């Protein structure tokens, strides 16, 4: 089993360490900074063997080179975006398998937030490192991709088992939930989740990970078939991707 450590950095980022005890292999997922990763490794006596990048944004690759220089780790990312991923050694594509020691990750290409975004799905561990594609009760902004791409990417993720733990890389849950309630205030699961989230944040605790099942019941970007959402948008008969597009536009303007 993987041991996962969550490292909060910057204002609202999370870096993750994933450690395979049997082999000693340890990966940092989307390291924005190097020093907090090195501190966490030292505290546990782990050696960094890999960096897994989901996409090229600086708050996900900022620590790559310093960590590589300090540890000799192997940097892994999406091959077609290699020019934008600092220090990349292993270039992956959709459908590839990456082994972290004995732990198998399936690579899913999920464009939308960027044109070269991937996720790492450890099926046996019930763990998904999804970067900025899926957030708890939200999804990433469409900086480089289209609504059609992001809708397809989220639909692909939504097809994974509902007990999958969703390790996204930002603590956006409370704001996302406030927006979700403007679209679907009658959703009892959403109300319950928001009460939980507010309690966690009041205690300074993370709301991540959630599970895919929770996301499918509370995340408006995965709920384009909700009659309540469609009524509130005035889009009862619209195609799901049109509903998604309108939700994304409204979230972009939400304060």
Catalytic residues: 55, 57, 59-60, 113, 132, 170
21: Cα separation from own chain's centroid: 24
Enumerate helices (H) and strands (E) in the chain, giving the number of each.
9, 14
Work out the angle between the directed axes of helices 147-158 and 240-253 (0-180°, nearest 10): 110
82 vs 68: CA distance, rounded Å: 16
**Closest alpha carbon to 120 in 2, 35, 200, 204:** 2
233: Cα separation from own chain's centroid: 27
Q: Which helix (H) or strand (E) holds 6?
A: strand 2-9
Strand order in the sheet with 74-78: 2-9, 13-20, 26-29, 50-52, 74-78, 90-92
| Tokens describing residue 144 | 């480089």
| Tokens describing residue 220 | 């408006």
Give the three-class secondary structure for 107.
Answer: strand
């Amino acid at each position: 089993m993987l041991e996962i450590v969550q490292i909060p950095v910057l204002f609202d980022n999370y870096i993750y360490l994933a450690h395979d005890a049997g082999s000693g292999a340890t990966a940092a997922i989307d390291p924005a900074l190097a020093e907090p990763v090195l501190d966490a490794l030292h505290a546990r006596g782990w050696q960094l063997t890999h960096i897994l990048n989901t996409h090229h944004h600086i708050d996900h690759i900022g620590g790559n080179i310093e960590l590589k220089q300090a540890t000799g780790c192997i940097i892994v990312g999406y091959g077609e975006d290699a020019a934008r991923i600092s220090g990349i050694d292993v270039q992956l594509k959709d459908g590839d398998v990456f082994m972290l020691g004995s732990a198998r990750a399936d690579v899913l290409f999920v464009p939308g937030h960027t044109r070269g975004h991937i996720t790492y799905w450890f099926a046996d561990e019930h763990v998904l490192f999804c970067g900025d594609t899926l957030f708890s009760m939200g999804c990433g902004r469409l900086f480089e991709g289209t609504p059609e791409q992001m809708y397809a990417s989220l639909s692909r993720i939504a097809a994974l088992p509902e007990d999958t733990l969703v390790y996204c890389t930002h603590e956006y849950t409370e704001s996302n939930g406030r927006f979700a309630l403007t679209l679907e205030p009658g959703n009892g699961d959403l109300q319950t989740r928001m009460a939980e989230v507010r309690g966690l944040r009041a205690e300074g605790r993370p709301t991540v990970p959630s599970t895919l099942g929770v996301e499918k019941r509370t995340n408006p970007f995965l709920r384009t078939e909700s009659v309540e959402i469609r009524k509130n948008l005035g889009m009862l008969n619209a195609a799901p991707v049109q509903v998604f597009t309108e939700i994304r536009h409204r979230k972009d303007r939400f304060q």
